[in-house]
Amino acid sequence: MKISEVLNCSFSSWYPRFKDYTIKSQILPLPQEFVDYLLADQVVLPEGTVAMSASDSDTEDNRNTEAPSFPEFEVLLKNTIKRLGGQVFPKLNWSAPKDATWISFDRTLKCTCTSDVYLLLKSSDFISHDLTQPFKHCCDDENLKNETSVKYELVLRKWQELNPAYEFRCFVKDNKLIGISQRHNDMYYKFIPENRQEIISDIQAFYYHIVKDNFPDKSYCFDVYRRCQGKLLLLDFNPFGRVTDGLLYTWEELESDDLLPADDTQHHVPEMRCVESPSGVRSNPYGAYAFPKDFIDISSGDDPAKLIQLLQLKTQEQNGTVSSDEESTDYPGT
């Protein structure tokens, strides 16, 4: 895996080519001060996002911690959420904060106001990885890794209720679709093995007609949502390498030639793997993140102040202390 391949999977690199086949999205350049805020240890929401109560404002932690302020970015973020219908799914260049759903009330990535976005981003190790080690698994020279700059962006995608049973990850090697995997392998869906051939046929057609000649690399992964027979929605691209979850495949298999066709047949049938029975269900890959690191820190006595800050913020949100200009979120969902 090379740096160039990682950069080609950055959202803003592929979205313009495939915007007619994916979810409507808006890309917001991240100011450097906001990147610094995401990387800082303090769990403090930007000024004006959460109205602090009088008792909270008198605590020593709050007196010593100055709330960050990004007024221009805040306005842009609010307006973009409204423009996308009032409900959005956030991510950075590559990753979504899927490891941080424990902090949201409905355990999803649905955001209706700026504080939702900030809390998810601040609580996610995946986001920290995007910001600090995007090229960690690349084979390029270390100097090139250090010298390659990234223009970080916040991507807001119009919220859609997607059934996880209809999501699939596809693996392309040397311009050949070599494998398809059920995206969420912590559940058994009876209809998937029963409709295997139809699913393969639909994904093959989507790959050859939409993806193959429009993506710059020869090897990569892409995720699709099969809404119904013959209708697919492109969700994301990922590098072909161990930084991407192989799901029901191992990367030893994917990187070998075992899944490639024996001859140079262009339209070979790729292998598709799914959970074949209830006994084949695997553990949730985000289960390790369901118990926040903050709780681990406080149980060991490492960082109790950080946890107290986080719980205060969530209590304030739950009690309706979000600033009044963010409460108008009665927009139609999709």
Summarised one tens digit per residue, pLDDT across range 191-200 is: 999 999 999 9
pLDDT digits (tens, 9 = 90+) for 97-142: 999 999 888 899 999 999 999 999 999 999 999 999 999 999 998 9
Please provide the average confidence, as pLDDT, over all residues in the chain. Answer: 84
Which of 121-130, 172-181, 254-263, 310-319 comes out lowest in average pLDDT? Answer: 310-319
Give residue 152's pLDDT: 97
Q: Give mean pLDDT, residues 45-73.
A: 59
Q: How would you classify residue 175: left for phi > 0, otherwise alpha for psi between -120 and 50, otherwise beta? A: left
Give residue 314's pLDDT: 57
Q: Give mean pLDDT, residues 220-245.
A: 96
- Region 164-280: CATH code: 3.30.470
Torsion sign (Cα): 45, 322, 101, 31: negative
Domain with CATH 3.30.470 in the chain: 164-280
Give residue 280's pLDDT: 84
Tell me: pLDDT of 222 over 70. Answer: yes
Percent of the chain, pLDDT > 70? 77
Give residue 334's pLDDT: 37
**CA–CA distance from 126 to each of 91, 100, 130 (Å)?**
10, 9, 6
Q: Give mean pLDDT, residues 295-323.
A: 54
pTM, full prediction: 0.81
